[in-house]
Amino acid sequence: MSSQLNPAKNFFILLLGAGLIGLAPLFVRWSELSPSWILFYRMFLALPFLALINIYFNKKQAFKLQSSRSLLFAAIAGLAFATDMSAWHWSIQFTSIAKSTIIVNTAPIYVVILGVFLFKESVSKQFLLSFALTYTGVLGLVYFSNTITEGALLGDALALMAAFMYATYLLIISKLGKESSINIIFYTTLFTCLFGLIPAIIESRDFLPSSKTEIYNLFAMAILCQVGGQFFITYSMPRLTASFGSIGLLMQPIVA
pLDDT score, position 219: 96
In which band, very low, low, confident or very high, does the pLDDT at 182 lie, cut at 50, 70 and 90? confident
pLDDT score, position 48: 96
Do the Cβ atoms of 222 and 50 come closer than 8 Å? Answer: no
pLDDT higher for 186 or 180?
186
pLDDT at 252 over 60: yes
pLDDT higher for 232 or 204?
232
The answer for 120, left when phi > 0, alpha when psi is -120 to 50, beta otherwise, is: left
pLDDT score, position 156: 79
Percent of the chain scoring above 90 in pLDDT: 24
Q: Which helix (H) or strand (E) holds 205?
A: none
Nearest-angstrom CA–CA distance, 253 and 256? 5
In which band, very low, low, confident or very high, does the pLDDT at 3 lie, cut at 50, 70 and 90? very low
Nearest-angstrom CA–CA distance, 138 and 204? 35
Percent of the chain scoring above 70 in pLDDT: 83
CA–CA distances in Å: residue 179 to residues 64, 94, 183: 9, 38, 7
Nearest-angstrom CA–CA distance, 46 and 219? 8
The 10s digit of each residue's pLDDT in 84-142 is 988 887 888 787 777 777 778 777 777 777 777 777 777 777 667 766 776 676 566 55
pLDDT score, position 149: 55
pLDDT higher for 121 or 32?
32
pLDDT score, position 1: 36
In which band, very low, low, confident or very high, does the pLDDT at 186 lie, cut at 50, 70 and 90? very high
Domain boundaries, the chain: 23-255
Determine the average pLDDT of the residues in 208-233. 91
Predicted structure pTM score: 0.79
Angle, alpha carbons 95-159-26 (nearest 5°) = 55
Determine the average pLDDT of the residues in 36-53. 93
- Residue 213's identity, in one-letter code, is T
In which band, very low, low, confident or very high, does the pLDDT at 74 lie, cut at 50, 70 and 90? very high
**What DSSP string describes 109-171?**
HHHHHHHHHHH-----HHHHHHHHHHHHHHHHHHHHH----TTHHHHHHHHHHHHHHHHHHHH
pLDDT higher for 94 or 17?
17
Closest Cα to residue 226, out of 203, 201, 192?
A: 192
Closest Cα to residue 20, out of 236, 228, 235, 250?
A: 228
pLDDT score, position 2: 41
The top-scoring range by mean pLDDT among 34-43, 201-210, 214-223 is 214-223
Sequence-separated (6 or more) residues with CB below 8 Å from residue 49 = 222, 223, 227
pLDDT at 220 over 90: yes
